[in-house]
Amino acid sequence: MGTFCYHWRALNASVMSILPPILPKKKGFFQQHPEFRLDFIIKCQIQIDLHRLSGTSLNALGWKTVKDELNNIQDFHVLQHKELKNQWDYLKRQWKIWRGLINWIGHGYDPVSGTFDLLEEVWANIIAVNFEAKKYKIASLQYRDLLEKLFDGLSATGDFA
């Protein structure tokens, strides 16, 4: 038994020495620098106004223009298309959840504060359907008017999409 433990520890140590360390998940650019989120939204809206669309997203020229303009206003990180598309998808998902809450609830929404005044049991049911909706229990959707303009008409929404 002692020999087995010795060999197991030696094997485990040798395997651990060749495996890369487990690093914490790297935060994305917009999560690290939320101050650029507004610039992203505005630049995407400009591309939509120029009809640079492909389905429910920007076309190649629209994405290239947004990427180039965002890279020109900051010089510490070169943004790639995938990062921009991930941010688009994230913002669209958040907007669809928030929009779904408004459409589903129909009452209890305060447009001034952008929050919902609902009973705890109603919130429990909502969160059971979509856990991501929980954040809107205490906070508004950031840039909700701009996101409404950006995404309204680009996609159909269901209950909490």
**pTM, full prediction:** 0.76
Q: Over the range 5-29, which residues count as b (16 or more CB within 10 Å of their CB) and which as e?
A: eeeeeeeeeeeeeeeeeeeeeeeeb
User: Is residue 73 within 8 Å of 52, Cβ to Cβ?
Assistant: no
Q: Which residue has the higher pLDDT, 55 or 26?
A: 55
Above 80 in pLDDT, residue 24? no
| pLDDT, tens only, 85-119 | 999 999 999 999 999 898 887 678 888 888 888 88
